[in-house]
């Protein structure tokens, strides 16, 4: 018995004296790469095959800068890392780009920027390319979540907007005329023998404001608003600036014409041509369109008749 106790004590002393060891800490990097790629294009003007023009044909946009910014505190979450990693690439002759970005398994917030630029909005014909007006091509800034080991596609298409400083001696600026009238629907008495029935008749409205929005003013390359008022017999006329047909960059010479709601009474025209004042209310506004308006054209008979009436 004494020998067994002695042995247990010796073993206990041996294990108690043995030094405990822990594995050495080795820092690891939990990041990896992802691939951001895409295609960038821009619009040009081409014939539409029907005597007009299409301004939304796409061609490659070469030499456009694409950049990606990743904040370090997004790459290393729950850290005090500061600053950011920035990556850049340029589109090739086919408009393609690719950028290798450092990311992590949970995803980093990347700010992607495709730089805008100013260039001419050209016309592409079978005979070659004709230089057009100076235009502004607005770029893109977008946030994407990028994850290591995954590819992300981001395509972008520029649309050129002519700038206000454009001057081109080949553009023939002229005028076109848009005319019409404004009337209001009256209730009218009609006698057939001894029978009196009611119908409606259109009565001219004097001094009513008419609006015209023209989509592409040649002086500013922007939408222009015109206003006029009706004369004593309810007629109006607009003299608008436009260009000759088939002028590159000016295929959308469209106008919207409208009148607003009209607060008035719904009157009755008696047999003796006297007018009896009716209930107060509102006649509903109206609009119509005239498209592809070019120099020396006269667009007439754009008539409005206030007929839809809601009494108060």
* 3-class SS letters over the chain: CHHHHHHHHHHHHHHHHCCCCCCCCCCCCCEEEEEEEEEEEEEEEEECCCCCEEEEEEEECCCCEEEEEEEHHHHCCCCCCCCEEEEEEECCCCCEEEEEEEEECCCEEEEEEECCEEEEEEEEECCEEEEEEEEEECCEEEEEEEECCCEEECCEEECCEECCCCCCCCCCEEEEEEEEEEEEEEEEEEEECCEEEEEEEEEECCCCEEEEEEEEECCCCEEEEEEEECCCCCEEEEEEEEECCCCCCCCCCCEEEEECCEEEECCEECCCCCEECCCEEEECCEEEEECCCCCCCEEEEEEEEECCEEEC
Average pLDDT value for residue range 156-177: 75
The Cα diameter of the chain in Å comes to 146
pLDDT tier for residue 9 given thresholds of 50, 70 and 90: low
HSE-CB for 184 with a 13 A CA cutoff: 23
User: b/e for 133-168, b at 16 or more Cβ within 10 A?
Assistant: bbbbbeeeeeeeebebeeebebebebebebeeebee
CB 255 within 8 A of CB 176: no
What is the pLDDT confidence band of residue 12, given thresholds at 50, 70 and 90?
low
pTM above 0.85, yes or no: no
pLDDT at 164: 53
Task: Tell me the average pLDDT of the chain.
Answer: 86
50-108 per-position pLDDT tens digit:
766 788 899 999 999 999 999 988 998 888 878 888 899 999 999 999 999 999 999 99
Average pLDDT over residues 221-247: 90
- Tokens 């260009």 correspond to 243
Calpha distance 162→121 (Å, rounded) = 7
Nearest to 144, CA basis, from 106, 115, 108, 116: 108
Q: Which two tokens stand for residue 226?
A: 């015109």
Q: What pLDDT is recorded for position 4?
A: 55
Spatial separation of the C-alpha atoms in residues 40 and 64, rounded to whole Å: 8
Q: How far apart are CA 216 and CA 253, in angstroms?
A: 6
Percentage of the chain lying above the pLDDT 70 cut:
86
Long-range contacts at 50-57 (CB < 8 A, ≥ 24 apart): 51/246, 52/246, 52/251, 52/292, 53/123, 53/246, 53/248, 53/251, 54/251, 55/121, 55/249, 55/251, 55/252, 56/159, 57/124
Residue 195 has pLDDT above 80, yes or no: yes
For residue range 66-79, what is the model confidence (pLDDT) as tens digits?
999 999 889 988 88
Which residue would you say has higher pLDDT here, 176 or 50?
176
> For residues 293 and 240, is the Cβ–Cβ distance under 8 A?
yes
231 or 171, which is more confident = 231
CA dist 26 and 29 (Å) reads 10
Question: What's the pLDDT score for residue 249?
Answer: 76
Rounded Cα–Cα distance for residues 21 and 24 (Å): 9
Q: Residue 12, by phi and psi: left (phi above 0), alpha (psi -120 to 50) or beta?
A: alpha
Indicate the pLDDT class of residue 23, thresholds 50, 70 and 90: low
């Amino acid at each position: 018995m004494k020998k067994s106790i002695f042995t247990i004590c010796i073993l206990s002393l041996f294990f108690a004296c043995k030094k405990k060891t822990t594995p050495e800490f080795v820092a690891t990097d939990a990041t990896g790469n992802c691939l951001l790629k895409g295609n960038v294009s821009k619009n040009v003007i081409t014939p539409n095959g029907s005597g007009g023009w299409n301004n939304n044909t796409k061609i490659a946009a070469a030499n456009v800068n694409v950049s990606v910014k990743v904040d370090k505190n997004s790459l290393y979450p729950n850290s005090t890392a500061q600053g950011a990693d920035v990556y850049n690439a340029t589109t090739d002759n086919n408009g393609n780009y690719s950028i290798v970005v450092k990311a992590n398994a949970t995803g980093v917030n990347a700010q992607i920027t495709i730089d805008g630029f100013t260039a001419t909005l050209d016309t592409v014909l079978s005979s070659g390319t004709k230089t057009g007006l100076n235009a502004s091509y607005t770029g893109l800034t977008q946030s994407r979540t990028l994850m290591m080991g995954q590819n992300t596609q981001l395509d972008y298409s520029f649309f050129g907007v002519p700038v206000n400083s454009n001057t081109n001696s080949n553009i023939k600026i002229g005028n076109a005329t848009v005319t019409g009238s404004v009337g209001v629907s009256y209730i009218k008495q009609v006698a057939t023998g001894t029978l009196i029935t009611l119908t409606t008749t259109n009565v001219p409205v004097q001094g009513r404001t008419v609006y015209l929005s023209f989509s592409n003013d040649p002086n500013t390359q922007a939408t222009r608003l015109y206003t006029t008022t009706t004369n004593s017999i309810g007629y109006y006329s607009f003299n608008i600036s436009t260009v000759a047909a088939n002028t590159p960059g000016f295929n959308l010479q469209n106008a919207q014409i409208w009148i607003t709601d009209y607060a008035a009474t719904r009157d009755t025209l008696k047999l003796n041509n006297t007018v009896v004042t009716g209930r107060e209310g509102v006649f509903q506004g109206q609009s119509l369109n005239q498209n592809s308006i070019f120099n020396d054209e006269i667009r007439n008979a754009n008539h409005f008749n206030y007929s839809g009436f809601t009494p108060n």
